[in-house]
Amino acid sequence: MCIRDRANIGAFYTPTGLGSIVELGGFPCLLNSDGSPKKYTKGRKKAVFNGKEYLLEEAFHPDYSFIKAHIGDRHGNLRYRKISKSFNAVMAGASRVTIAEVDHIVDRLPPEKIHTPGIFVDRLYQCDYNSKKVERIKIDSNDEVVDTRKTLGTSVRDRISKRLAKEMESGMYVNLGIGIPSEIPPYIPPSVKVQFQVENGLIGVGPYPSPSDIDSDLINAAKETVTTLPGYSISDSAETFGMMRGKHLHMTILGGMQVSVKGDLANWYIPGKKATGMGGAMDLAASGAYVVVGMEHTSRGTPRILNTCTYPLTAKECVNRIVTEIAVLDVTDKGLVLIEKDPAVSLEKLKEMTPADYTVSKDLKDYRV
């Protein structure tokens, strides 16, 4: 939406949001001082092109864009450092006034080093480069991942991440969502060559860094510190989302709150609780890639695999496979099929934890970890 406003394109059609609250409208978008809803979103217009449904997404028109760059010159030209290109490059020029905070100001950047031309920038402000902080520092010390913000996720999350890692095959381009999916890279064996893509622009995500290799401009979608693999590349978020929407990914792995028997996914909003937005999940779910959802089988005893989702949908009929800590189920034209099960969990117990209708594969295998 931002880059289209910058180019004076009033609207565009996208499959993102079909069947969700984005299409239907009614999501609080403006709150009163007491936190109660003051204004709700409107539904989107729908059209069909070549037999496929799309939603009309209008550009929005902000007054100011506050962006961050590494270097700016006297002409307003900007250069970003690593992952900081992200949405900064997209937002430049998308509003009436663009103000760029930069680490350094030089007289002139070499033309081939310029990421954003000065025509999109109105003001520069120089900051203290050393003041930049990392929100989530994760380090890999002696083959043990340490999260300096909190204790590493439970063994349940580790178990799911390890099983998700077995979905990978060499040569794949795979997007990792926030949460459990972002913890997969350390479990990929060296023999499997996969390029992980994250929505903030990095392709070639590696394991967590050692303490000496922490870089505030190398983070994943969950804002965790990461490293890169040979052949990595960095693009702005507009190009990154184009990779998703353009069906260039082989697989996307998302976290989930609920999944239905038809593959409907709910993973961004619990009614009655504050939500900041759906992030890139709706784009990923509508990407056309093979979608795998990694989530705990229940939430405090409440089932998550259901006949019908009770939370607002992220996307309809988008999930291909569900991986939990005790089971793997495929979404097929005939419904859910159980293909793997933890030997320690009986079929009767699993059914108690899974109210959704499903069949058991004739080739049922033990859960792989």
CA–CA distance from 151 to each of 136, 147, 224, 226, 235 (Å)? 12, 6, 14, 17, 32
Residue indicated by tokens 């293909």: 339
User: Distance between terminal CA atoms of the chain?
Assistant: 41
DSSP H or E segment with residue 97: strand 97-106
Cα–Cα distance for residue pair 198/93, rounded to 1 Å: 24
d(CA 304, CA 208) in angstroms, rounded, equals 30
266 neighbors 312 (Cβ within 8 angstroms): yes
Which is the catalytic residue, given 167, 199, 224, 325? Answer: 199
Q: What letter would DSSP give residue 201?
A: S
> CA 192, CA 172: separation in Å to the nearest integer?
9
Give the C-alpha separation, 140 to 142, whole Å: 7
Q: Which residues contact 202 (CB under 8 A, 6 or more apart)?
A: 82, 83, 218, 220, 226, 228, 232, 233, 234
- 199 tagged catalytic: yes
Mention every residue, 6+ apart, whose C-beta is less than 8 A from residue 313: 19, 20, 21, 264, 265, 266
What is residue 339's three-state secondary structure? strand
User: How far is Cα of residue 50 from the mean position of the Cα atoms in its chain?
Assistant: 28
Give the active site residues. 199
